[in-house]
Structure 1
Amino acid sequence: MDDLKFGTRNKRGDWAPNQPAETAPLFAFPPRLMAILKWLPHYFFPWNAIFAASAIAYWALVIPSMETMQTLGIGWAAWLYAVNAICVLLFYGAFEVHLYVLKRQENRFKYNGKFPSEQKNKAFWFERQNVDNMLRTFLSGVVIWTAVEVGMLWAYANGYAPWLSFAERPWTIAAVALVVPIIHEFHFFCIHRLIHTPFLYKWVHSVHHNSVNPSPWSSLSMHPVEHLLYLGTALYHLILPSNPILMLYQLHYAGFGAIPGHVGFDKVEIGGDKLIDSHAYAHYLHHKYFEVNYGDALIPLDKWFGTWHDGSAEGEAQMQARYRRRKEKLAARKTRMEVTGAAE
């Protein structure tokens, strides 16, 4: 597959798509009906359908009985941790092996031309990004994922969360299922802006941003506080008219859904001329520039708040202009403080 038909590569070997990143047309005004209809299949396939199917499979094959979950216990919590860890290992590992270990498509469609394994970095445990990212994923990420899952299932089993059956309220359940990605996007944008405040960035979010060149295991490589904030998206179902399957879908959308944004490749080759779009470009630009694209472009929140970067020259100019305005504002504030101090 010739990736230069879809983008360009610079002298460093970094690849960028020809088309700038776009926000979904769902919230465009005036409404663009044809654009929405053309985009709609991408809302479901492949990623959202995978995460929804995994939630259904969990409910059918993994989740203990309601009677068991009425009482918090180490046994069933450990069972869920084991299943979550195995599924993360298989799902994340499949991308890691295909793209980074076997390098089956070499660096075709790879945003950053280098592979993390090629460089040691003291920012990571054992100076290895992959080792650090994997340990943080299993020692903190999957632990907190399981804790949220256990807490929510216990709440459902004891009647503390609203539980609607599909037979009784099919349209309500369908509506909530449709907005699960929108709930995630809103939640992610809000907590992401929060942890980019100076104090929380330094002590919490910088752990995730150590992976400037993200790879699959970077997806859940976070500080425990960020894991709790990020995976806490499932807690909305304590007040939403919902049920355990939709709560699991919400949790899987966050846990498994972190992969596409961190896979490091714009497209994944799956044999022959078949490609799967990762839709990772906007989030890759966030890892590259830090202060843009706090959301995932489903809702144009970054456009509304002036932090959107689509990867184009215009987007770069807007970002640099924003940096200059902030620098000028800080300089003016410093001057005022100096003048005030001198006057006193």
Structure 2
Amino acid sequence: MQHHSFWFYVIVFFAIILARYLAMAGFAHWLLYQRQEARVSVLNDIQLSVISAAIFSLATALLMTLQEQGLTRLHSQIHAESWWTLPLSYVAVLVLQDAYFYATHRLFHQPKLFPWFHRGHHRSRQPTPWTSFAFDPLEAVVQALFLIGIVMLIPLHFATLLAVLTTMTVWAVVNHLGLEVLPLSFPHHWLGRWLIGPAHHSLHHRRHGQHFGLYFTFWDRVFGTEDPAYAASLQPPVP
């Protein structure tokens, strides 16, 4: 692998992360919100997202520098007899990230921490795709630390890490599609009991004390932070 300077990585990954956000959020906005005027909250979300992209690019540059020094457990080798480690490590990281996100997200809603870590994200009472990456700077740092920590602890193929980052981006955009342009059930079916989607997360933007998860509803169920009315709404209609 060719080595580059820290700031080379910062510039390259900032461009990649920001372009990915603009492309995905922009496409979703064009598809669902093209007939609506831009709100002030959208502009605020984009500003926060640019800052978040800068923070994540710094974290990724640090990750690459640590990798070049042999201090991470990232690798690029895969053998026929161990191919199964790719999907296993992918699922493991998603499960760990979901638990980490639930814990930190709920912590950031504590009154003393909320203004510093999470208020900016909640400027959008009705989220849009642009809200998907609108982290407050301190929250972006906390989330970036997870990715750095995970590659220091768990052996991960570069492809697995890329799959996790892609899943995180796509899931964030989908979760912030909003209720005003989609039916409550979208994109839920029986999996809606276990997977978080736009209906689940939009309720969090309206009622801050519920629905803290990222991918799965498991921790909201365990700790009683899931709205009972939401679960009831997923029941099939009685004929």
Task: Tell me if 1:135 matches 2:70.
Answer: no
CA shift in 2, pair 1:305/1:313, >3 Å? closer
Counterparts of 1:136 and 1:214 in 2: how far apart (Å)?
14
Q: 1:229-281 CA deviation, whole Å, 9 max, x = no partner?
A: 22333121211011333223333333443111111148869xxxxx8668211
- For 1:166 and 1:268, how far apart are their aligned partners in 2? 42
Q: Paired residue for 2:136?
A: 223
Letter in 1 for 2:58: A
Partners of 2:9 and 2:60 within 8 A in 1: no
State which drifts further: 74-83 or 245-254. Answer: 245-254
- Indicate the RMSD between aligned Cα atoms, in angstroms: 2.7
Counterpart in the other structure of 1:192: 105
1: CA distance, partners of 2:41 / 2:83? 45
Q: Which amino acid aligns with 2:47?
A: L
- Which one of the candidate residues 175, 192, 209 is aligned to 1:291? 209
- Find the aligned partners of 1:296 and 1:311 in 2 and give their Cα distance: 19
Q: Is the 8 Å Cα contact of residues 28 and 129 (structure 2) preserved in structure 1?
A: yes
Tell me the amino acid that sits aligned with residue 164 of structure 2.
Q
With over 3 angstroms needed to count, the CA separation of the structure-2 counterparts of 1:116 and 1:310, relative to structure 1, is farther
Q: Distance in 1 between matches of 2:214 and 2:224?
A: 14
Give yes or no for the alignment of 1:78 onto 2:78. Answer: no
CA displacement 1:97-148 (0-9 Å, x = unmatched): 1211246xxxxxxxxxxx773xxxxxxxxxx11111111111x111112112
Using the TM superposition, give the Cα deviation of residue 76 of structure 1 relative to its aligned residue in structure 2, in angstroms. 3.5
- Give the TM-score, by structure 2 length: 0.81
Instruction: Write the letter of the residue equivalent to 1:176.
Output: S
2:174·2:198 contact (CA, 8 Å) conserved in 1?
Answer: yes
Q: CA deviation at 1:218?
A: 1.0
> For the structure 1 residues 266 and 239, does the alpha-carbon distance in structure 2 shift closer, same or farther, using more than 3 Å as the test?
farther
Give distance in 2, aligned partners of 1:252 and 1:309. 28
Aligned pair 1:309/2:223, yes or no? no
Structure 1 residues 219, 252: closer, same or farther in 2, change over 3 A? same
Residues 281-320 of structure 1: CA deviation (Å, up to 9, x unaligned): 11111111100111146251111111111434979xxxxx
**Equivalent residue for 1:93, pick from 7, 15, 26:** 26
Q: Which whole-Å CA distance do the structure 2 matches of 1:78 and 1:312 have between them? A: 42
The question of 1:68 aligning with 2:12 is answered: no
Task: Specify the alignment match of 1:282 in structure 2.
Answer: 200
Unpaired stretches in structure 1, ≥5 consecutive residues: 1-65, 104-114, 118-127, 270-274, 316-344
Check 1:81–1:296 CA distance in 2 against 1; reply closer, same or farther (3 A cut): closer
Amino acid at match of 2:3: T
Query: 1:320-339 to 2 correspondence within 5 Å?
Result: none
State how far apart, in whole Å, the 2-side matches of 1:276 and 1:308 are: 18
Are the aligned partners of 2:126 and 2:179 in contact in 1 as well (CA < 8 Å)? no
Determine the structure 1 residue equivalent to 2:236: none
One-letter code of the match for 1:215? Answer: T
The percentage of aligned residue pairs carrying the same residue is: 20
CA shift, 1:179, in A, is 2.6
Q: How many residues of Structure 1 are paired with residues of Structure 2 in the alignment?
A: 221
Give the corresponding residue for 2:166.
Answer: 252
Q: Which among 204, 207, 213 is matched to residue 117 of structure 2?
A: 204
Q: 1:97 to 1:150 in 2, by over 3 A?
A: same
Structure 2 partner of 1:161:
72
Structure index of larger Rg: 1
* Aligned residue identity for 1:166: I
Which SS does the other structure have where 2:87 is aligned?
helix
What TM-score does the superposition give when structure 1 sets the normalisation length?
0.58
